[in-house]
Amino acid sequence: MLTETIYHDAYVQFLAKIRQARLDAKLTQEQVARLLGKPQSFVSKVESGERRLDFIELQVLARIFRKRLSYFQGDFP
């Protein structure tokens, strides 16, 4: 079931990496939202796991944060 995977350890680690990448880039949620053309709540929901990202959205965030996609990879069993 999809809802079971939302809080899987690897996904929690992924969310932490997204937040850390934003902090490393010295950007606020509001600044990221402006760059995306979305409301600040979008960024908040992504970071909290309430809203999942698709691959294209992750690519855009990686570009904004100046991180390689491999940065967001976790250690999967």
| pLDDT tens digit sequence for 26-65 | 999 999 999 999 999 999 999 999 999 999 999 999 999 9
| pTM for the whole structure | 0.85
Q: Both ends of the chain: CA-CA distance in Å? A: 18
**Boundaries of every domain in the chain:** 2-72
Contact, 18 vs 64, CB < 8 A?
no
Distance CA 63, CA 58 (A): 9
Distance CA 42, CA 40 (A): 5
**What's the topology of domain 2-72?**
434 Repressor (Amino-terminal Domain) (1.10.260)
Contact, 29 vs 40, CB < 8 A?
yes
Instruction: Find the Cα–Cα–Cα–Cα dihedral 40, 44, 46, 38, rounded to 10°.
Output: 0
